[in-house]
């Protein structure tokens, strides 16, 4: 069954690989229209998912992630509208040079082919991912979580109906209806047909994919991010950035989990940070020095420094300077987003140079690590690996290249 | 043991990540000097490997791959000289834009970190791979075949001595001395320390790596390449290109294994091709139509069309036109190098557009798929996957990027 989906996806990917930007944009428009046409059906399917989830005693946060309503469907449609406005990267020739023997050699952007996405509860991912794939001429195989299966079926069938109305193959977008773990594992091993697999979800999902896949994987999402307040930092700026990076949306990957503070200013700046974070009831878990300064802070364990809390908890450590901060971050961090707050030119450059992460900031909140904020437009997730794509993945991350060579009979 | 090598490689990779191009070039020069200084030791170690290999009844071709001599060591040194002349890609900022909120966001080229290479019998790969990694500030872990173990130890120890003389960490270049399969498998699972794994060898090795690795892999090398002679082809050009692509060096991945011919000209061009290939005793295995034209051709099996012969055998098929040729190549090919010979503008563009391969040629031999021929300089292998790098991998393929962000206190 899954094998057949792979074959169908490969066939569809070849059929859509040569589409013009205009044809793809028309199909995207049809998808947005169809989502509105089938809105009642989609919301009814979603209501069923939400009902079951509540019966299973799922948390309010999870219910919120799962739930669709008219305004959320409008949100999907307006995201599609923005996607239509973006330039199509496919077909662009990145460079073309003439070799001494007269060969003209260029590198052309092409689709990846078949993209598989394994994601958890949010049903909107199926629309986001499928439309980004269509825009870049990739066929997609979606595998969502079992809590959202009825929503995902309704959404994907609406998108497939739209493809058919646009004269494109339905199988350019496929959803795996069987949500068993076994099927997910089989999908990870389908390297005969799938060109890349992107897991979108928590650390457990990502680890399972990396450990089991023979399909090339792009790791996304886990963010154990830090702010380091250097000796020369502006205290107001430091308090604002720490507050924003920790509390503006603590459940996302670009929120910070750790604060490092230079020992010479720790006794001055930590009480200011603490006072601000108390407004959001942030729990501080600190090293010994932190707890001398902030009497009510809990003790941080070694494990805490490795943890992505995704909530109102902040691990704090006082360090001897920028070198220890860099060492700590490169050891405990997940290579996502890291920030130094400093007025020192030398330390800012050192931090930018030596921190090994997808996004390295001087004097700005880590919350900006996002396709939209970086000016890339639509985003397929945030890669924390070094191969192929690193950081927010825009449309170009969904492409490969091929060399094209124009000759006149040259032999070697 | 392997875990410790991973830790050492990670540490070394951080120590060399900030080196200037000048420092790295001086170390590369020291490596070339040291290879000459330790030449006698290296050749003695190699002689031991060759002796054992002959005792084990290895083929002459394999002995030739394994053997080093003064001129081959000179070849390694001159390759290092050419590598020194190439621009260092590390540190280049690919773009920097100012966002509406004043953030300056750039993308900077950085090393991958720790690169592992699993290779088979040729000991020169250890020097080629290690020096390309050093040039791009990557630490390398080498794992060569057991036939070449003494040669690889001598070469890697010479390179490590050179690193030490240049004031760099010895562990920027490490060789795994244990050549058991078990150690290779453990290396494939070392994703805590290894950022990318590149297998260089036959189809069996590459399959084992893809199936077992949790480290991101770049697949290299398997080339089941085709030439398609279109209806309007220039016959002289066709014969020259087929001859060159098949016989100039049949053991390499960019040599062709298959010839497709348009049915309308098959009876005219196939005898010409056959006559030329007979000069090299090439065995032709053809479809029924081919065998009507070439009476002494053997019959091709379905399996033959999937096979990388790497020798003087050519599978031939008569097709109805460019569409069938494209379909055949996309089905049976390995996505390496594919060529059309045609005078038709329309068919040339169709072939370039629809063939799904790393390098697509019009009217030129597939033998040009090579870093040097493409103007990339040194080459780490030829990628046949779509993620990260596709086609010949030059220095840039050994890099990643990171976003660097200059702020003035921006929060979201």
Q: Do B17 and A354 touch (CB under 8 A)?
A: yes
Question: Given this model, what pLDDT does residue A176 score?
Answer: 97
Q: How far, rounded to the nearest angstrom, does the alpha carbon of residue A6 sit from its chain's CA centroid?
A: 24
Q: Are strands A399-410 and A104-111 parallel, antiparallel or unpaired?
A: antiparallel
Which tens digit of pLDDT belongs to each residue from A339-367?
A: 999 999 999 999 999 999 999 999 999 99
Interface test with B, best of A196, A242, A376, A404 (most B CBs within 10 A): A404
Please determine, for residue A221, whether its predicted confidence score (pLDDT) is greater than 80: no
Q: B334 to chain A, minimum CA–CA distance in Å? A: 11
Tell me which H or E stretch contains B160: helix B149-165
Question: Given this model, what pLDDT does residue B231 score?
Answer: 98
Question: Given this model, what pLDDT does residue A19 score?
Answer: 94
Count of residues making up chain A: 412
Question: Given this model, what pLDDT does residue B162 score?
Answer: 98
Q: What are phi and psi of A9, to 5 degrees?
A: -65, -45
Question: Given this model, what pLDDT does residue B87 score?
Answer: 96
At CB < 8 A and 24+ separation, what contacts does B266-270 make? B266/B290, B266/B293, B266/B318, B267/B293, B268/B235, B269/B229, B269/B233, B269/B235, B269/B238, B269/B239, B270/B294, B270/B316, B270/B318
Per run of 10 residues, the mean pLDDT along chain B (length 412 residues) is 96 94 98 98 97 91 90 95 96 94 97 95 92 98 96 98 98 97 94 94 88 92 94 98 96 94 98 97 98 97 95 97 97 96 98 96 97 90 93 96 98 96
- Provide, as residue numbers in chain B, all residues whose Cβ is less than 8 Å from the Cβ of A358: 402-403
Which tens digit of pLDDT belongs to each residue from A134-181?
A: 999 999 999 999 999 999 999 999 999 999 999 999 999 999 999 999
Which tens digit of pLDDT belongs to each residue from A253-273?
A: 999 999 999 999 999 999 999
More confident residue, A282 or A63: A282
Question: Given this model, what pLDDT does residue B222 score?
Answer: 85
Q: Do B214 and A211 touch (CB under 8 A)?
A: yes
- ipTM > 0.90 for the complex: yes
Q: B154 to chain A, minimum CA–CA distance in Å? A: 31
Please determine, for residue A276, whether its predicted confidence score (pLDDT) is greater than 90: yes
Give the residue on A whose Cα is nearest the Cα of B16. Answer: A354
Q: Average pLDDT of A196-202?
A: 91
Question: Given this model, what pLDDT does residue B15 score?
Answer: 93
CB B398 within 8 A of CB B132: yes
Question: Given this model, what pLDDT does residue B174 score?
Answer: 98
What is d(CA A226, CA A211) in angstroms, rounded to the nearest whole number? 27
In the structure, what pLDDT confidence band is assigned to residue A222 with cuts at 50, 70 and 90?
A: confident
Q: For chain A, which domains are there?
A: 2-218+393-406 (3.40.605.10), 225-368 (3.40.309.10)
In angstroms, the Cα distances linking A254 to A227, A366, B16 are 11, 6, 28
* 3-class DSSP string for chain A: CHHHHHHHHHHHHHHHCCCCHHHHHHHHHHHHHHHHHCHHHHHHHHHHHHHHHHHCCCCHHHHHHHCCCHHHHHHHHHHHHHHHHCCCCCCCEEEEEECCCCCEEEEEEEECCEEEEEECCCCHHHHHHHHHHHHCCCEEEEECCHHHHHHHHHHHHHHHHHHHHCCCCHHHEEECCCCCHHHHHHHHCCCCCCCEEEEECCHHHHHHHHHHCCCCECCECCCCEEEEECCCCCHHHHHHHHHHHHHCCCCCCCCEEEEEEECCCHHHHHHHHHHHHHCCCCEEEECHHHHHHCCCCEECCHHHHHCCCCCCEEEEEEECCHHHHHHHHHHHCCCCEEEEECCCHHHHHHHHHHCCCCEEEEEECHHHCCCCCCCCCCCCCEECCCCCCCEECCHHHHEEEEEEEEEEEECC
What integer best gives the mean pLDDT of chain A?
95
Q: Do B214 and A218 touch (CB under 8 A)?
A: no
Question: Given this model, what pLDDT does residue B133 score?
Answer: 98
- Provide, as residue numbers in chain A, all residues whose Cβ is less than 8 Å from the Cβ of B361: 405, 407
Nearest to B367 among A14, A402, A412 (CB): A412
Which tens digit of pLDDT belongs to each residue from A73-107?
A: 999 999 999 999 999 999 999 989 999 999 999 99
């Amino acid at each position: 069954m899954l094998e057949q989906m792979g074959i169908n996806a490969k066939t569809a990917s070849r059929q859509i690989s040569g589409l013009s930007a205009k044809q793809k944009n028309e199909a995207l428009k049809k998808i947005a229209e169809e989502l509105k046409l089938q809105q009642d059906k989609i919301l009814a399917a979603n209501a069923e998912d939400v009902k079951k989830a509540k019966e299973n005693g799922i948390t309010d946060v999870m219910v919120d992630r799962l739930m669709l309503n008219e305004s959320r469907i409008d949100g999907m449609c307006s995201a599609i509208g923005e996607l239509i406005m973006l330039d199509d990267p496919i077909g662009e020739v990145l460079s073309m040079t003439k070799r001494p023997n007269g060969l003209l050699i260029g590198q052309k952007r092409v689709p990846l082919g078949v993209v598989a996405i394994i994601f958890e509860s949010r049903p909107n991912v199926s629309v986001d991912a499928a439309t980004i794939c269509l825009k870049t001429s990739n066929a997609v195989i979606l595998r969502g979580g079992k809590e959202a299966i009825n929503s995902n079926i309704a959404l994907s069938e609406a998108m497939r109906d739209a493809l058919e109305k646009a004269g494109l193959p339905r199988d350019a977008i496929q959803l795996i209806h069987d949500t068993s773990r076994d099927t997910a594992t089989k999908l990870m091993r389908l390297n005969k047909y799938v060109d890349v697999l992107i897991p979108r979800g928590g650390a457990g999902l990502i680890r399972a994919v990396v450990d089991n896949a023979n399909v090339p994987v792009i790791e996304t999402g886990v963010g154990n991010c830090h702010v380091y307040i250097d000796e020369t930092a502006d205290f107001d700026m430091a308090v604002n950035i720490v507050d924003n990076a920790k509390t503006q949306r603590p459940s996302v990957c670009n929120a910070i989990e750790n604060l490092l503070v230079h020992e010479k200013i720790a006794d001055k700046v930590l009480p200011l940070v603490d006072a601000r974070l108390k407004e959001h009831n942030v729990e501080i878990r600190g090293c010994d020095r932190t707890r001398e300064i902030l009497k009510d802070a809990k003790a941080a364990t070694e494990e805490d420094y490795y943890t992505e809390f995704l909530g109102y908890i902040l691990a704090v450590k006082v360090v001897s300077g920028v070198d220890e901060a860099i060492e700590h971050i490169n050891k405990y961090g997940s290579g996502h987003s890291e920030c130094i707050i400093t007025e020192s030119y030398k330390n800012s450059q050192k931090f930018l140079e030596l921190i090994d992460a997808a996004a390295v900031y001087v004097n700005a909140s880590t919350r900006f690590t996002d396709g939209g904020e970086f000016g890339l437009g639509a985003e397929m997730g945030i890669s924390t690996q070094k191969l192929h794509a690193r950081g927010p993945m825009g449309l170009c991350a969904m492409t490969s290249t091929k060399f094209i060579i124009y000759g006149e009979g040259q032999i070697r």
